[in-house]
Structures are given as C-alpha cells and as structure tokens.
Amino acid sequence: MKTIKTVAFIGLGVMGYPMAGHLAKQGLTTRAYNRTYSKAEAWAKEHGGTAHATPKEAAEGADLVLVCVGNDDDVRQVTTGVDGVLSTMASGSILVDHTTASADLALELDNACREKGVAFLDAPVSGGQQGAENGALTVMCGGEQHHFDAVAPVLNHYAKAVTLMGPASSGQLTKMVNQICIAGLVQGLSEGLHFAEQAGLDQQQVIDVISKGAAGSWQMDNRHKTMIADEYNHGFAVNWMRKDLGICLEQARRLDATLPVTALVDQFYADVQRMEGGRWDTSSLLKRLRKPE
C-alpha cells in the first residue's frame, strides 16, 4: 500500500470534528465534508484543512477516506450514493468506516469497494466525545491484515488502541459486544446510586469505597459525579444508544444469541425518550429511577 499523505474525513459531528482535527495537526493534508457545509468551513478555518461541498469532492485524490456519520442509511448516502466517495476514490485507496453500523452494511461496503479496487475496513470506535477530543479512542477493525497495517498509523493519531478483530464486519460485531456490556453496566450503576440515595448514604463516599474493588468501571469513574448531580447534558446520547442496541438485538436474533438484559435496558432507554431525554447522556437511566421532586 502506498504512503498515506492525503485524507478525506466525511462527517464532522461531535466525534468526527476532533478526530479530523488530530489528522490535520499531524501534518496530513485533510479534506473535510459535513452535511452542514458551514461546519466544514469552520473546521477548515480552525485546523487548516479544506472544506468540500460533497463527499465525492472531498474524496477526490485522497489516499484514505474516513467516514463517521449517524447510521446505515447515512453511510450509504456518503459512500455508494450519487455524490458518494466511491464515485471518485482511486483504485488502491482505502475506505474506513468509523460509524457504528450493522454487520450487513460492512459486508455490503466491502463488496462495493472490491468492485472499485478500493480497500475497506469497518472500524467503529469507543470512548465517546471525550476520547475523540483527547485522541484516546478504542478502534475495533474488520478487514484484511495488509490494509489494516497501512491505516493503523493514521488511526493512532486519535486512538489509544487500534486492533484488527478479523475479516470485514468483525469490527462492527465487536462494537456490538461493547454496547451490550455498557448497557448492563450503566443500569447497574444507576440502580446502585439510586439505592444509596434512598438508603440515606453519602453517594460520593460510597463510590469512593466501591470503585476501588470489583464494582469499579469506566462508567463509574467517569459518570458518577454528573449522575449524582442529576446532570445529563453531555456524552453519548440516548437516541444513539437505542440505535446501537437495536443493531445488537437484531444481530442477536440472527445468531440465536440471548440478550435479556440488553433488551430490558433498551426498553428503559425508551422510557427515557418518553421523558424527552433522547438527547441526554446514556447515564440518564438514573433519572428514570429517581422520584420526581
């Protein structure tokens, strides 16, 4: 694979904006596209890259194209759609999809890329907005080893861990495991904090004690303070988590895997949405348990 010097980043949301910024900061020629063009212009002004009106325009001449958008349909629009990146990507270039999407889509894109002579990796990320801003994401990849070896040094600019999990779709399947585990952890933390509150315990003191033992987790370390304060206007939104859990549950049905806790927590998040909390952070499961003032 040739040396990657020019990259295109498609999707400048809360994750993509800082991720693309890390690439520009490392001296890569970075071409940016966002559905709202003014945001791409603002990014280019801040980071020194260039803004483009369509995905295909951004991808033209790029050695590597990175996509980070909302869902399967969004990915299709910016990749195989009329103005999608595959219409201008050159043979020998590489497409990496960071969107959390279905395994079916990963296989679909892998086939579409092969027809164009383009390499493909599905590479969903974990770590949230904070991880993107700090360059500390975890990236789980599916694809071929030599393609992974070519892009890993670039992905390392915004990641603390980049791992090839297997062939195409393996990254998405691994991300499903990640979301399944998180769902149970957040519900458990919410119930624990709720129990402590109802029992009249000092919630912070409780966390200080139990976080040093087997109950400790990333969720506990990074979300307990805002949960205790009943603050949820940050982090990964409930709406997106329900999208991800829907993907997990659909895949589980195909695999004959049983996910009772995941299915239950998905419905708890539906309750949060009915509380008009779709944009709240996923830790808002605690809000559902607390009695109204």
Please identify which of the residues 116, 175, 287, 291 carries the catalytic annotation: 175
Whether residue 160 lies in the annotated active site:
no
* Structural contact between residues 112 and 137, judged by C-beta atoms closer than 8 angstroms: no
The distance of Cα 77 from the centroid of its chain, to the nearest Å, equals: 18
What Cα–Cα distance (Å) separates residue 139 from each residue in 76, 129, 192, 214? 21, 14, 30, 26
* Furthest-apart CA atoms within the chain: distance in Å: 64
Beta pairing class for 119-122 and 64-67: unpaired
> Using CB atoms within 10 A of its CB, is residue 16 exposed (0-12), middle (13-18) or buried (19+)?
buried
CB atoms within 10 A of CB 57: 18
Residues belonging to the active site: 175
